[in-house]
């Protein structure tokens, strides 16, 4: 079963078997989407890593399918988004039904002027394949090792030692840092004896990928108490290759073996797609879900990222998307620490920021599950009440919860982000991930703001005319230390300026960033606003930059 041709990646004997250990600045354990993305991000920062995976192929069966705008923006920085966009199914509309009536639809990106769509659907195996192929473009920096299973871990001063099992025997790896990207059943979590606490939902779901020979819409469609088939809810997503993901909510008592019988699955599928449409089962599985996270994500020199650190139910597509935001958050920090430009303490901000992100994802996922599975008669009364009112009362639509789809996580209010000064407006408060907008570079070619912001610190200033540009240039002289780029957003190319200009011909950068003349942002390598000023001073910019690097004021 399955239309995707799984390639086996070549296993290679480790030269270290029976010899001296392998030394690397970073060992990434696990080549799922999170570990692969981390290795690429580190490579873009010039940090070499070894990636160890106990398997030799991409994800079998489709797991993640919905990749969010923020993930795509991060993938764009990593150099893989264009391929994913080309293959993926782009969507932004969700439609919600109750029994046989449509209650409402929602639009996840009602405005233009963004490079990335609200969502694409793309099977996890394609995502991993594209990430592997991208990783192979860094042969000097990324050492990808398939069928290398980490079996032991020993924390050591200034690093950690791993024991790796291969078909040819065991060898040792010594790394300054270990990124534990080994998934929901994390070996490293177990080796460190870390509890993974949370909540398991009793509800069972049948997940079927079906190839359909008919033109169905790309919108996300969700039914509460569908009249077709049995079951409490049904969710459909379109994927590439004419494959549709259908999730059937089976209730807590379903018998997994029985529900997986192909004839039985196809009876349910037929209920959704109709009796005559040609369709074929590509893959199916019965799941129950849990929400859990590690208490801390940083344990000495071992840093947990992705499913090893946190898991959620898939409604809301927050698992993989959350893991990619972990990568975005941690890699630049590791690179700064390894280069000696920041104290090790900087990693504490990864812990605080991504624990916050995981909690947000778990909260959303738990609330969705609660709405989908009323536990008592009273819970059912309120759920039915919300559904009954939703058609006519917009407020009630906001209470209908068929999944709160992954949104970029704001770090507002966390340590290291400066509060706003007076006379600043616009939504881009410190802690917010930057919004995209169209710009043109010096050569006049159409481009996007976010493509200029990632990977390094940026001082981004607004100037409406040459006078204000020159004031900025003299006011900010010396503000940008080595490796910090300075950019000015201008309405048209202003001759005579020395700062690099991004032309904001449509004025969207200005309106999205409240960009009055002189307004200046300091932006982190992960495209989050650190601080902003209406009237910037070089000294204040320098202080904010040092604080974002974990230096104490």
For other proteins, the closer of residues 150 and 386 by Cβ is 386
Sign of CA dihedral 347, 349, 350, 355: positive
Cβ pair 113, 508 in contact under 8 A: yes
Q: Output the smallest distance, CB 29 to ligand FAD, in A.
A: 5
Question: Looking only at residues 195 through 224 of this chain, which bind ligand FAD when binding is defined by CB under 6 A?
Answer: 207
d(CA 436, CA 250): 40
Q: Which does 385 bind (CB under 5 to 8 A by kind): ligand FAD, other proteins, none?
A: other proteins
For other proteins, the closer of residues 378 and 552 by Cβ is 378
187 counts as binding ligand FAD under rule CB under 6 A:
yes
Q: Pick from 471, 501, 473, 505: which is nearest to 491 by CA?
A: 505
Q: Is residue 254 helix, strand or coil?
A: coil
For ligand FAD, the closer of residues 53 and 504 by Cβ is 53
d(CA 294, CA 358): 10
Question: Looking only at residues 119 through 148 of this chain, which bind ligand FAD when binding is defined by CB under 6 A?
Answer: 124
Pick the piece of the chain touching other proteins (CB under 8 A) from 150-158, 391-399, 413-421, 472-480. Answer: 391-399
The count of chain residues that interact with ligand FAD, using the rule CB under 6 A, is 33
Q: Which does 382 bind (CB under 5 to 8 A by kind): other proteins, ligand FAD, none?
A: other proteins
Residue 117, token pair as written in the block = 């769509």
Q: Output the smallest distance, CB 399 to other proteins, in A.
A: 7
Site track for other proteins across 357-386, x = CB under 8 A:
---------------------x--xx-xxx
30 counts as binding ligand FAD under rule CB under 6 A:
yes
Q: For other proteins, which residue of 396, 516, 534, 540 counts as binding (CB under 8 A)?
A: 396
Cross-sheet strand order for the sheet of 243-251: 101-107, 93-98, 220-224, 233-239, 243-251, 204-212, 279-287
d(CA 332, CA 315): 30
Q: How far apart are the first and last CA of the chain?
A: 59
Pick the piece of the chain touching other proteins (CB under 8 A) from 88-96, 309-317, 395-403, 511-519. Answer: 395-403
Label residue 232 left, alpha or beta by phi (over 0 means left) and psi (-120 to 50 means alpha): alpha
Question: For residue 98, which phi and psi values (nearest 5 degrees)?
Answer: -125, 120
Q: Output the smallest distance, CB 308 to ligand FAD, in A.
A: 6
Distances in whole angstroms, Cα of residue 137 to Cα of each of 30, 153, 249, 496: 19, 29, 42, 40
Cβ pair 350, 299 in contact under 8 A: no
Q: Output the smallest distance, CB 103 to other proteins, in A.
A: 15
Query: Could you give the angle at the alpha carbon of 335 between the alpha carbons of 329 and 336, nearest 5°?
Result: 95
Question: Looking only at residues 31 through 50 of this chain, which bind ligand FAD when binding is defined by CB under 6 A?
Answer: 31-35
Q: For ligand FAD, which residue of 14, 50, 52, 469 counts as binding (CB under 6 A)?
A: 52
Beta strands 142-146 and 302-304: pairing type?
Answer: unpaired
d(CA 293, CA 307): 9
**b/e code 347-358 from CB counts within 10 Å (16+ = b):** bbbbbbbbbbbb
Residue 18, token pair as written in the block = 């029976």
Q: Pick from 547, 317, 343, 339: which is nearest to 431 by CA?
A: 547
For other proteins, the closer of residues 225 and 384 by Cβ is 384
Q: How far is CA 258 from the centre of its chain?
A: 35
For other proteins, the closer of residues 268 and 383 by Cβ is 383
For other proteins, the closer of residues 389 and 414 by Cβ is 389
For other proteins, the closer of residues 354 and 397 by Cβ is 397
Q: Which does 286 bind (CB under 5 to 8 A by kind): ligand FAD, other proteins, none?
A: none
Q: Which does 65 bind (CB under 5 to 8 A by kind): ligand FAD, other proteins, none?
A: ligand FAD
Question: Looking only at residues 295 through 354 of this chain, which bind ligand FAD when binding is defined by CB under 6 A?
Answer: 306-307, 314, 317, 319-321, 323
Q: Output the smallest distance, CB 233 to ligand FAD, in A.
A: 15
What are the residues binding ligand FAD (CB under 6 A)? Answer: 29-35, 52-55, 63-66, 124, 149-150, 181-184, 187, 207, 287, 306-307, 314, 317, 319-321, 323
What are the residues binding other proteins (CB under 8 A)? Answer: 378, 381-382, 384-386, 388-389, 393, 395-396, 399
């Amino acid at each position: 079963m399955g239309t995707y041709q799984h390639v086996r990646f070549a296993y290679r004997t480790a030269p270290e078997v029976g010899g001296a250990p392998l030394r690397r600045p970073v060992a990434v354990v696990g080549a799922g989407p999170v570990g692969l993305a981390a290795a690429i991000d580190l490579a873009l920062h010039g940090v070499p890593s070894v990636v160890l995976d106990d398997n030799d192929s991409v994800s079998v069966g489709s797991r993640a399918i919905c990749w969010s705008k923020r993930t795509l923006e991060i993938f764009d920085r990593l150099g893989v988004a264009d391929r994913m966009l080309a293959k993926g199914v782009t969507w932004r509309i969700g439609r919600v039904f109750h029994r046989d009536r449509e209650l409402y639809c929602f639009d996840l990106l009602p405005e233009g002027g963004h490079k990335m769509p609200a969502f694409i659907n793309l099977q996890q195996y394609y995502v991993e394949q594209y990430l592997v192929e991208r990783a192979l473009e860094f042969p000097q920096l990324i050492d990808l090792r398939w069928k290398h299973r980490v079996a032991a871990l020993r924390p050591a001063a200034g690093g950690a030692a791993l024991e790796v099992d291969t078909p040819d025997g065991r060898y040792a790896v010594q790394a300054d840092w270990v990124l534990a990207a080994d998934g929901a059943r994390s070996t490293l979590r177990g080796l460190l004896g870390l509890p993974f606490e949370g909540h398991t939902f009793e509800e069972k779901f049948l997940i079927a990928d079906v190839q359909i020979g008919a033109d169905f819409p790309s919108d996300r469609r969700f039914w509460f108490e569908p009249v077709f088939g049995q079951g409490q809810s049904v969710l459909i997503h379109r994927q590439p290759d004419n494959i549709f993901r259908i999730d059937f909510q089976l209730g807590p008592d379903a018998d997994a073996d029985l529900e997986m019988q192909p004839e039985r699955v196809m009876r349910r599928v037929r209920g959704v797609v109709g009796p005559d449409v040609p369709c074929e089962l590509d893959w199916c599985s019965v799941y129950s879900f849990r929400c859990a996270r590690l208490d801390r994500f940083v344990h000495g020199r071992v840093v947990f990222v992705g499913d090893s650190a946190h898991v959620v139910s898939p409604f809301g597509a927050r698992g993989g998307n959350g893991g990619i935001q972990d990568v975005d958050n941690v890699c630049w920090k590791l690179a700064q620490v390894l280069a000696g430009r920041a104290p090790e303490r900087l990693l504490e901000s990864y812990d605080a920021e991504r624990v916050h992100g995981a909690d947000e994802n778990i909260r959303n996922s738990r609330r969705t599950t609660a709405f989908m599975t009323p536990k008592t008669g009273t819970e059912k009364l309120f759920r039915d009440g919300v559904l009954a009112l939703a058609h006519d009362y917009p407020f009630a639509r906001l209470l209908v919860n068929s999944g709160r789809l992954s949104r970029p996580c704001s770090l507002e209010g966390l340590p290291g982000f400066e509060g706003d000064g007076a006379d600043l407006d616009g939504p881009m408060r410190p802690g917010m991930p930057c919004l995209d907008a169209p710009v043109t570079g010096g050569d006049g070619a159409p481009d996007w703001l976010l493509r200029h912001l990632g990977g390094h610190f940026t001082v981004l200033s607004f100037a409406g005319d040459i006078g204000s540009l020159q004031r900025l240039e003299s006011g900010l002289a010396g503000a940008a230390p080595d490796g910090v780029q300075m950019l000015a957003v201008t309405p048209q190319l202003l001759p005579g300026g020395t700062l690099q200009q991004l032309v904001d011909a449509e004025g969207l950068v200005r309106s999205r960033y409240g960009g009055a003349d002189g307004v200046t942002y300091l932006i982190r390598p992960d495209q989050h606003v650190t601080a902003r000023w209406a009237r910037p001073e070089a000294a204040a910019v320098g202080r904010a930059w040092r604080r974002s690097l974990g230096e104490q004021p």
